[in-house]
Structure 1
């Protein structure tokens, strides 16, 4: 990076010019940023993380009101899945843009696309347009996520990444914490309404855009920028990304419709499952045929650490996404709180998540170990998910606060460790691909979680409502998470609320099962330590010297 800071003076016995040459050689060898350049890069990524976090959580407390306005309770899963499916399917392709084209322009264009999706969502006249807007935002987020991890992997040493992670993820946690509060206050406002939760992204995105533009004034050249444009297009594997997008959409439709809108035996549901299978087979065929130019280079999965890290990340992500989308349903539908109050009630989970991330970053950077944090964090997350089964409409505040703290802290402890694990075991040339794969499966888990949760929730709700005499179950579901109180007779209200609570407990079983499985998967990850940046610098310099001697 051209803006890497150099020391102003060296040892007295070393001439200034020689000292500069030595430092330049170290910079070329390690590619690590220091000083002011590192600080500004971290600040830029913190600003972008804040925007992404705000967008993720600000919507959660607005969803019940959105479902009531659009009469779209069956679309709950799509509000999150459309964003995550687009992000997940395009993540590998967007990652390759950074190898072929100017990283500053790719990053900034991604941020603009993300903001365009926010505008579409803000003016959406119906549920379908809102879903499309969320998908456009997901496309931009794919470029932001892949760019952040790729730039960090080349510019920041692993141990320094572990130290910076609490600050970057801390800003993500701040955005996550502020999101529900701001989203709830905006949703409850008769003047702003829930639409302003998307408009508010624009000023923050503008700040992030300015910071990135300033920080990457002199970006390094694209590592494969010299390739012919025909070869670049071929290696982007756009057909593979398109097929993957179609496959995940078919699976999502099947999970949304099956047993709820249509029977599982209905041709539309069964056809989606068949379409998913055929498209996935085609996608895998393209990956095998494309080899290194494929969207998902299969050779990196020969490492058991990479495979296990990907599986671990996907499983814990399913658990945390389910919690973030369905706890607001509990607060607003079961406990009849406002959107603002439900945002406040989510703070224990968000704050404990941040604390877990900070503790994990300190431990891994100090002792160099990251595997034990996965062994501990996943069971703690599972324990929190298991305790969610105890929630009732009249549960004491201390109960659900404690449950959220336990689950949030567990996720914070382990969620960043797979990102470190793949960088330790892979060669430097494969690190960007490995990071993108971890992010890829994380998005896959996040994309499927709302649909799985919605299917379980709606199915359980319809079954429970069907047992209540005098209740039109379909009308209650159509009324939305808050609107049902306007159509349910007062004498039946408690029974309907119990039905919502029972359906939510069924969803939270997934929050126990997936992290428990992740804990088992984590035992397949190799026991390694984070390398010392000083030893990395020495080895890299020695390699460069030997190469010069050989020449």
Structure 2
């Protein structure tokens, strides 16, 4: 059992690791009541502390290993297919579906993050987590055996659904399995695992695509998931009160607490806008009835969602009182634009290497290391400086400046660009994005009341992931449109440009009877120009992030020592700032 100095009224939030903190409302996740944020995990009472018997030794090792593997798999799925996409499109002859391979996963991942917060509050954390893990594994299996591009997209969507609950559940389980004093160590490990997975994802995906099959990008999740499930089933034992806290709630009260109408309206509106952006200008003209109908329905559903959020109050998916906080609203917009820039480049830079520079998928993954490593270095360096100085807002300004310069330089990619330039441009972009991408979470922790910190961080992560899913679809639409236009400009191509655009990105042109060196050279230039247009999307969104920064407060999150009731010293910066505001 934990010592007295390990007790806390709420699960601890690691102020230095925003990636791991970006989860649904943890103060309400284990609340015995049905109101969000009204009550926190009452772990400081003797009966509650007695009920929690922290595992140690092999049990703790097995649980942490299982959770780390789960976080690894979910994080890998963000980037692992980036270098495998050309091989996938070659097999399915579905280049026009590239955007959906990323968007389907990101969409369900980000859209349901807040909903899973309510599920963890109302039901057993252990079995909700295992259910999420099962969904993720089922989705991975569908992707691995997919007979068509549509099946792969469906599998990605199911995997994203499960993944959205895995992240939040991992931190909740951590609160029950480690004492407060040791918890930052393990949350730090989760953050490190996320960074490692982001870096090795394209490398692993490229290696599988080149030397085995791209399907192993998804098969790899199955054994890791089995280890996680086994460790949790055997060694995770939660307090009985937490397991049964929904017993006194009626069925309809439980349903209403999930904001069912708001969730339905929100998901439907997101699907409509994504379909409109994905099809508009490529499959259908922007003035076609289908696209206009999708945009109109999107607007109606968005209005309906807003109205529902107003009337359901604290049961709202996104409480209105938080959106009214200008720094939170600005931070959410900033996160959306930055997430869009990061994910668009992560997906299309590897394609550029394979199509324009004729590299293998593995080499394309290696060639993206400058971006990913510089991103990690920037994030870690900025985190250290903010810890000392206390102000995250200046780093968001720096992102808008340095990131925009880097994104602009990526637009200078040409067929014969030198190695030093394509490496240097990636480094500048990656470092610029890294120093500010996670700072909005730190700012939110400083400007909202303590009970709203978890939901605030969840809103930021949702915005980040939604920006990625939204603008990957936009970039794909632009890419196909510009590719078809460019190919149509080659006078002696001899093939319908749409046929080439509909084939795989690395399909051998000789399959279309194209062998003339002059034509092949022109095609490579067209592909380069079309891909550079996706980099322009990243440039635009990075520049737009500067507008969002203007609405943010300059609030310090620097930890200060403060005596607690029992004479110990607290360095919880969020509590200090809340106390200063009299909240």
TM-score, normalised by the number of residues in structure 1:
0.86
Which of 207, 222, 234 is residue 202 of structure 1 equivalent to? 222
Per the alignment, in what secondary structure is the counterpart of residue 165 of structure 2?
helix
Corresponding position of 1:548: none
Check if 1:521 corresponds to 2:548: yes
Structure 1 position 156, deviation (Å): 10
Distance 1:214 1:384, change over 3 A: farther
Structure 1 position 334, deviation (Å): 0.9
Structure 1 position 349, deviation (Å): 1.1
Q: Deviation string for 1:8-30 (max 9, x for gaps)?
A: xxxxxxxxxxxx4xx36xx2345
Corresponding position of 1:187: 209
Q: Deviation string for 1:498-517 (max 9, x for gaps)?
A: 01111111111122221222
Query: What is the correspondence of 1:311-390 to structure 2 with a 5 Å cutoff?
Result: 311-390=333-412
Structure 1 position 167, deviation (Å): 4.3
Structure 1 position 223, deviation (Å): 11
Check if 1:296 corresponds to 2:318: yes
Moved more, 139-148 or 531-540: 531-540
Corresponding position of 1:490: 516
In 2, are the aligned partners of 1:32 and 1:155 still within 8 Å (CA)?
no
Structure 1 position 534, deviation (Å): 4.6
Distance 1:541 1:28, change over 3 A: farther
**Distance in 2 (alpha carbons) for counterparts of 1:65 and 1:284:** 42
Distance 1:130 1:540, change over 3 A: farther
Q: Deviation string for 1:389-445 (max 9, x for gaps)?
A: 111111111111111111112222112222222222222322232122112211210
**Distance in 2 (alpha carbons) for counterparts of 1:429 and 1:452:** 36
**Distance in 1 (alpha carbons) for counterparts of 2:371 and 2:392:** 22
In 2, are the aligned partners of 1:305 and 1:422 still within 8 Å (CA)?
yes
Structure 1 position 158, deviation (Å): 12
In 1, are the aligned partners of 2:90 and 2:507 still within 8 Å (CA)?
yes
Distance 1:441 1:528, change over 3 A: same
**Distance in 2 (alpha carbons) for counterparts of 1:384 and 1:160:** 39
Query: What is the correspondence of 1:13-162 to structure 2 with a 5 Å cutoff?
Result: 20=4, 23=5, 27-29=7-9, 31-32=11-12, 46-148=68-170
Corresponding position of 2:455: 433
Structure 1 position 62, deviation (Å): 0.9
Query: What is the correspondence of 1:447-466 to structure 2 with a 5 Å cutoff?
Result: 447-466=469-488
Distance 1:188 1:392, change over 3 A: same
Per the alignment, in what secondary structure is the counterpart of residue 409 of structure 2?
helix
In 1, are the aligned partners of 2:561 and 2:569 still within 8 Å (CA)?
no
Distance 1:389 1:228, change over 3 A: same
**Distance in 1 (alpha carbons) for counterparts of 2:304 and 2:298:** 10
Corresponding position of 1:549: none
**Distance in 1 (alpha carbons) for counterparts of 2:436 and 2:548:** 13
Per the alignment, in what secondary structure is the counterpart of residue 554 of structure 2?
coil
**Distance in 2 (alpha carbons) for counterparts of 1:446 and 1:317:** 5
Structure 1 position 448, deviation (Å): 0.5
Check if 1:262 corresponds to 2:242: no
Check if 1:481 corresponds to 2:508: no
Corresponding position of 2:536: 509
Structure 1 position 163, deviation (Å): 8.2
**Distance in 1 (alpha carbons) for counterparts of 2:278 and 2:122:** 38
Which of 557, 564, 580 is residue 530 of structure 1 equivalent to? 557
In 2, are the aligned partners of 1:314 and 1:446 still within 8 Å (CA)?
yes
Structure 1 position 152, deviation (Å): 7.5
Structure showing the higher helix proportion among its residues: 1
Structure 1 position 216, deviation (Å): 5.0
Q: Structure 1 regions of 5+ residues with no counterpart?
A: 7-19, 544-551
Corresponding position of 1:221: 242
Distance 1:156 1:495, change over 3 A: farther
Corresponding position of 2:301: 279
Q: Deviation string for 1:49-90 (max 9, x for gaps)?
A: 321221121111111111111111110111111111112221
Structure 1 position 473, deviation (Å): 0.7
Corresponding position of 2:35: none
**Distance in 2 (alpha carbons) for counterparts of 1:154 and 1:540:** 25
Structure 1 position 119, deviation (Å): 0.3
**Distance in 1 (alpha carbons) for counterparts of 2:398 and 2:235:** 37
**Distance in 2 (alpha carbons) for counterparts of 1:466 and 1:222:** 63
Corresponding position of 1:11: none
Distance 1:33 1:248, change over 3 A: closer
Distance 1:282 1:31, change over 3 A: closer
Corresponding position of 2:252: 230
In 1, are the aligned partners of 2:411 and 2:535 still within 8 Å (CA)?
yes
Per the alignment, in what secondary structure is the counterpart of residue 481 of structure 1?
coil
In 2, are the aligned partners of 1:456 and 1:506 still within 8 Å (CA)?
yes
Q: Structure 2 regions of 5+ residues with no counterpart?
A: 15-53, 571-583
Distance 1:215 1:343, change over 3 A: farther
Distance 1:477 1:33, change over 3 A: closer
Corresponding position of 2:37: none
In 1, are the aligned partners of 2:126 and 2:236 still within 8 Å (CA)?
yes
In 2, are the aligned partners of 1:150 and 1:432 still within 8 Å (CA)?
no
Which of 307, 313, 330 is residue 329 of structure 2 equivalent to? 307
Structure 1 position 533, deviation (Å): 7.0
In 1, are the aligned partners of 2:124 and 2:244 still within 8 Å (CA)?
no
Corresponding position of 1:416: 438
In 1, are the aligned partners of 2:335 and 2:440 still within 8 Å (CA)?
yes
**Distance in 2 (alpha carbons) for counterparts of 1:405 and 1:540:** 47
